[in-house]
Amino acid sequence: MSEAQMVDNELSQKRRSGSQRRQRANAVKLNLLDSEDAALRELARRGGFHNVQAYIMDRLRPEMAAVS
């Protein structure tokens, strides 16, 4: 894990709310190349999202709604 990823992980853990811990109980691991990770983080930043998870959830929302 790169130093930037470790710092980002520590910051996101500090900002985690109690309701987030209760509602989101499952995790999905996604293996990325460094270039893919950088691109995904940049897309999230450009989209105004606080983190990559928020970006991914926003992009998947229509598809997830179609199957629920």
C-alpha to C-alpha distance for 22 and 42, rounded to whole angstroms: 28
* 31 secondary structure, DSSP code: -
Residue 16, phi then psi, degrees to nearest 5: -65, 130
C-alpha to C-alpha distance for 52 and 23, rounded to whole angstroms: 18
Domain-by-domain residue ranges, the chain? 3-67
C-alpha to C-alpha distance for 46 and 26, rounded to whole angstroms: 27
C-alpha to C-alpha distance for 34 and 1, rounded to whole angstroms: 10
pLDDT in tens, 32-63: 999 999 999 999 999 999 999 999 999 999 99
> Is the whole-model pTM more than 0.85?
no
Q: Which two tokens stand for residue 16?
A: 């985690």
